């Protein structure tokens, strides 16, 4: 999903699920699997683009695309190669 500003320019928010682990991109054969993207939509946004990305050969089936407003305590998805905000500032070892 990509959120773009009015009048052109660089996208405001982006998540194609490729950089996520766990709940990100699907690989190989998979049964119906729910995936979601949560992004903040700034007031300067003019358009929202969404769809499916298929790398190499295969088929993609999708259904039930929808948009909804979520509470502020719902974390946003990864926005590019870096988390959207600083993480592990205490340098804890997992």
By C-alpha distance, which of 1, 19, 3, 23 is closest to 11?
3
pLDDT of 21-48, one tens digit each? Answer: 677 777 788 888 888 889 989 898 999 9
Beta bridge mates, 47: 4
> Starting from the edge strand earliest in sequence, which strands make up the sheet with 13-14, in order?
13-14, 2-5, 45-49
Q: How far is CA 23 from CA 27, 42, 47, 75, 90, in A?
A: 11, 25, 25, 13, 25
pTM above 0.85, yes or no: no
């Amino acid at each position: 999903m990509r959120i773009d500003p009015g009048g052109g320019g660089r996208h405001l928010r982006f998540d194609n699920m490729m950089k996520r682990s766990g709940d990100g991109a699907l690989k190989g054969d998979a049964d119906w699997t729910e995936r979601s993207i949560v992004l903040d939509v700034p007031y300067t946004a003019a358009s929202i683009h969404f769809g499916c990305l298929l790398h190499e050969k295969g088929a993609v089936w999708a259904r039930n695309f929808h948009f909804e407003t979520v509470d502020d305590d719902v974390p946003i998805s990864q926005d590019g190669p870096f988390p959207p905000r600083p993480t592990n500032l205490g340098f804890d070892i997992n």
